[in-house]
Each structure stands twice: as C-alpha cells, then as structure tokens.
Structure 1
Amino acid sequence: MIAWIGHHLTALREALRHLAAAPLNTLLSLLVIGVALTLPTAGWLAIENLRTLTGNTPGVQQISIFLELDAGQRERGEIESRLRQAAAGSWHFVPRAEALKRLQESEGMAEIIGSLPKNPLPDAFVVTPADSQPESLEHLAETFSQWPKVAHVQLDSVWVKRLDALLRLAKLVVMLLAVLFAGALVTITFNTIRLQILAHADEIEVAKLIGATDSYIQRPLHYFGLLQGALGGLCAALLVTAGSHLLTPPVAELARLYGADFTLQSLSARDFGGLAAIGGGLGWLGAKISALIHLRGSR
C-alpha cells in the first residue's frame, strides 16, 4: 500500500513538474479549457437566474381566486382552511375594498371608479404555488374552481407554458453546448499528451527497456491531464464569477425599473468544486485515450 501511494505521489510530482516547465503553454491551455467550460456554465447560470427572476416577479405564475360577491366571513374562512390543507404554496387575501383602492390609484381610473354606485370587485385570494410546472398549476386552478363560493379562477397558463417551453429549449441548447465543448476539452488534452509523448519518446523507450510497465509510464500523463482539466475548470469558474460580478449592478438596476427585487446569483463553492471535477474528469479521459493509443503504437 505504501509503495502504491509512493508511485502515485511520484507521478503527481512529475505531472506538476511538466506543468511548471512551460508556464506560458500551460497558461494558454488553461485559458482555452476555461473558455470551453465557461460558455455552457454561463448558459446554465443564466437559466437558473431566469427561473429565480420569474419565480420572484409579482404576477408571474400566480393563481387568483375570485369569490362570489355575496361570500361572507364564513365562506372566506372556509377557503383559507382549504388552502392550508392543500399546502399548495404561499397565499394572501385581498379584500374587495383594498382591490378597489388599488384600482383607483391607477392612472385614469379614479373618475370612473368614483362614478360607480357601489364596489363591483369581489374578495380574492392570490396563491403563489410551490410547484411552478404548467401541469401542476392547471391542476391547482381546476381544483380551486370547484370550491364553494368561488366565482372565477384566473391563471395565465399560456404565459406559463411559453416560459416553461423557452426554459426547456434553453436548457437543451446549453446541454448540447456542454457536450460539444466537453469533446473539445478531451481533444485539447489528447493533443497535449500526444505532444508530450512525442517529445519524451526516447525517455519512454529507455524506461521500457529497464522494465517500466505501461501503467508506470501512463500514470504521470493521467495526472497531467487531470490537473490541467481541473485547473481549467477553476479558470472557467473564475471567468463566470467575474462576468457575474460585472453584470450584477446593471441587472439589479434593470430589475428595479420593472418593480422587482432581484440580485444576480453567482457560482457557489460547490459549483467551483463541480467545475473542477468535471474539467479534471474530462482531462483525465483525454489523457487516458491519448496514452493508450500512442504508447501502444510505439511498441
């Protein structure tokens, strides 16, 4: 066991030495890998922020339950009890007097409302569902419409479906980009390892003559690909974070102009680790394939 650990530590040191031996080439490779991982990561982060924004924007993915005009305190209490039992999400009650006051504050509506003999607006409950999937929203709206003293249930299901379809399409595009750039990362590592094998062909041949196994020769190459990919993943995370910080002030200002309180979310420490792991795994895969092909060809 100690010997096995020693072999891996030796291979790790050798990989680090190769990375440090050509700092400019290493830096350029990390930037290329970082950019390759940045694009799908930025797309994924944009989709997550869009989901958060639409979930926090007033009026989006909400269900309005309008009661009949003759609904009293007892009927309102029964609706509240049913909402608590359904546990469909958060909700709040809008009295008809408050709804009329809000309507009067709208531009050009004060005179019209003042001419009415009585308040024509009903009491209402506004529900923000926990599950924002279109199918779940429509099922909730259908359930609410069957409750007693409910005159009308309003749900902009067309808007919800369009938004959901747009996000699913964007997610698919990001996945395709991720696959494409993952292949590019493997190719980059493949070519880097191939050049290393060609540059050290004499050393590898001598090592084979004195009894070195293929695993012993390939191990530093695997670590090289792993380290290069992991560092490239961290580079991508730093690029995305820098871009996020630059965009946060203008995005927050734009959200305030539309009456929303929104802060652009950046990558977490877990996301940093995930990108490093993905980059390292793809780098190791490229190194593994390259080493197998070129070392077998040199036999």
Structure 2
Amino acid sequence: MKHWINQHTLVWRLVLSRILRAKLSTLMIWSVIGIALSLPAILYVVIDNLNQLAGQVKNEPQVSVFMKLDAEPATVEAFRKNLEQHKGIAKQQFVSKEVAWQEMQELSQNVASQLDRNPLPDAFFIEPKDHSPEAISQLQREIEGWPGVEHVLADADWAKRLYALLQLGQKAVLVLSGLLGFALVAVIGNTIRLQIATQREEIEVSKLIGATDGFIRRPFLYAGTLYGLGGSLIALLFVNGILTIFNLSVADLAELYGSSFILTLPGWEISLGVIACAVTLGWIGSYIAVNRSLARLNPN
C-alpha cells in the first residue's frame, strides 16, 4: 500500500513540475477551458433565476369560477367549503352577485340603468398552489364538474408561454453544453497529444525497460485532470464576476418595478457540478489521446 501511494505521489509531483514549468501555456489552456465552461454555466444560472422569479411573480395565474344565476346560497356555501378543503388551492376570494352589481353601478351607471335586474352571478377567484399549465388545466376540469358551476375561466396563457420559453432555454443550455464539452475533449486531447509527441523518445525508452501502458498513461491522465480542474476554477471566477457585473444593472431595473430581485450567484452544488464535469472531460480527452498514441507505438 505504501509503495502504491509513493508511486502515485511521485507521478503527481512530476506532472505538477511540468505544468509549473510551462506557466504561460498552462494558463492559456485553463483560460480556454474556463471560457468554454462559463458560457453554459452563466446561461444555466440565469435560467434557474428566471425559474425562481416565475414562482415568485405577483401576477399569479388565476382561476375564475362563475356560479349559475339560480344557484342557491347553500350550494354556494358548499362550493366554498370544497375550495377550502382542496389541497391544490393556495387561496380564494368570493365576490357575491350583490357586491359585483354595486361595483358595476359605480363604474358604469349608464349601462346599469338600462338593466332591469342584476345579471351578474356569484364568483370565486382562485389562486392555485401549482402554477404549471398542466396543473391549472386539471384544476379547471375538476371544478367544472362541481354542482352549481356555470363557467370556469383559467388565466394560464401567460404561464404556458413563460414555461415554454424556460424549457426552450434549458434545451439550449443542454445543446450548448454538449457542443462545448465535445470541444473541450478535443482541446485537452490535442494538448496531451502534443505532450506525448515531445516525450516520444522517453516513452519508447520506458517501454524498452519494461514500463506498462498503465504506467505510461498515468501522468498524462493526471495532467488532463489538472487541466480540467484549473479550467473549472477559472470558469467559476468568470461566472461569479460576470453575474456580479450583471447585478449592477439588474438591481437598478428591479428597483424601477418595486422589486429587490438580483441574480443569485451559483451555489456549491452548481460549483461542484462544473468542477466535476471539467475534471471528467479532462480525463476523457487525455485518455483518448494517450490510447491513440500508444496504439501507434504498439502496432501489434
């Protein structure tokens, strides 16, 4: 066990010394990786913030329920109790036909004077707990079957458009992440391939004295991992810096609308996800490059 630890420790020291000797090229590789990772990370954080804003927006989708004109008070009261017991309803507001008629007379006396009787029904205005279009449509269909209900109107069009845009943004992030991930594998793989080319004679000598492919492969895999790790840290610096600059304008814009909304910086879950993805891509890129190079050295 001690021999295994010493062996890997020596390889790490060797890789670190090589990286530190080429500070400029290493910094350039980290910067390229950081820029490529920061683009989908920024988009993801922005869309995640918009999702949270959509859940907090004050203009929540509303379900309007209009009772039948001949609905008995007992039927209306039973309907109200059903709403109070419903688990999918956050809050409700009841507007009686008398109150609605009085408000109509105050707003438009000319129209009200031409009517012989009150044409307005009792109404309930409901705010659902789940603002997704599917949940609102399901609640609308359920309430339509209750006794005494004449018509149910669900104001969910804006919610459908908002959710559609957010889903489109999420798909765009996935596509962009896939393309940039492929590009990172190519960049890191090409960097490792160039390192292998410069150390070709050393590798050939190592193989002549009995070095295995795993022994030769190990330092290049560690180098690819370090490239990914350094690039991910640069990406997190870019993301936090850019979002901080954005927040200066976002805060001013939110203040005009009486809001305190700002873009939330990525938490530890997103940060660990970026680091894990970068390290994995670095390992994959170096693994592919080393195996291809070893296959050329071992044509058999």
Alignment correspondent of 2:4 = 4
Mapped to 1, the partners of 2:177 and 2:226 lie a distance apart of 20
Alignment correspondent of 2:37 = 37
Displacement of 1:144: 2.4
Alignment correspondent of 1:251 = 250
Q: 1:60 to 1:210 in 2, by over 3 A?
A: same
Mapped to 2, the partners of 1:149 and 1:257 lie a distance apart of 44
Q: How many residues align?
A: 290
Displacement of 1:4: 2.7
Percent identity over paired residues: 36
Query: SS of the residue aligned with 2:17?
Result: helix
Displacement of 1:221: 0.7
Q: Which moved more, 1:229-238 or 1:251-260?
A: 251-260
Displacement of 1:277: 0.3
Q: Which moved more, 1:173-182 or 1:133-142?
A: 133-142
Query: SS of the residue aligned with 1:126?
Result: strand
Displacement of 1:50: 1.7
Amino acid at match of 1:48: D
Alignment correspondent of 1:174 = 173
Alignment correspondent of 2:293 = 294
Is 1:46 the counterpart of 2:46? The answer is: yes
Mapped to 2, the partners of 1:64 and 1:296 lie a distance apart of 70
Residues 192 and 290 in structure 2, CA contact (< 8 A), matched pair in contact too? yes
Alignment correspondent of 1:241 = 240
Amino acid at match of 2:235: A
Mapped to 1, the partners of 2:192 and 2:31 lie a distance apart of 17
Displacement of 1:15: 2.2
Alignment correspondent of 2:127 = 127
Structure 2, unmatched stretches of 5+, are none
TM-score w.r.t. length of structure 2:
0.83
Note the alpha carbon deviations across 1:11-60, whole angstroms, 9 max, x for none: 22222222212111111111110111111111222221222222211224
Query: SS of the residue aligned with 1:90?
Result: strand
Displacement of 1:272: 0.8
Query: SS of the residue aligned with 2:264?
Result: coil
Query: SS of the residue aligned with 1:125?
Result: strand
Displacement of 1:61: 3.3
Mapping 1:92-171, distance limit 5 Å: 92-93=92-93, 112=107, 124-130=124-130, 132-171=131-170
Note the alpha carbon deviations across 1:78-101, whole angstroms, 9 max, x for none: 44543454321522436569x98x
Residues 134 and 157 in structure 1, CA contact (< 8 A), matched pair in contact too? yes
TM-score w.r.t. length of structure 1:
0.83
Is 1:285 the counterpart of 2:280? The answer is: no
Alignment correspondent of 2:20 = 20
Q: 1:93 to 1:206 in 2, by over 3 A?
A: same
Query: SS of the residue aligned with 1:61?
Result: coil
Q: 1:55 to 1:63 in 2, by over 3 A?
A: farther
Amino acid at match of 1:228: Y
Mapped to 2, the partners of 1:263 and 1:76 lie a distance apart of 43
Mapped to 1, the partners of 2:200 and 2:187 lie a distance apart of 20
Mapped to 2, the partners of 1:58 and 1:145 lie a distance apart of 26
Residues 49 and 263 in structure 2, CA contact (< 8 A), matched pair in contact too? yes
Mapped to 2, the partners of 1:69 and 1:249 lie a distance apart of 54
Displacement of 1:65: 3.9
Note the alpha carbon deviations across 1:153-179, whole angstroms, 9 max, x for none: 332333232222222222222111111
Query: SS of the residue aligned with 1:93?
Result: strand
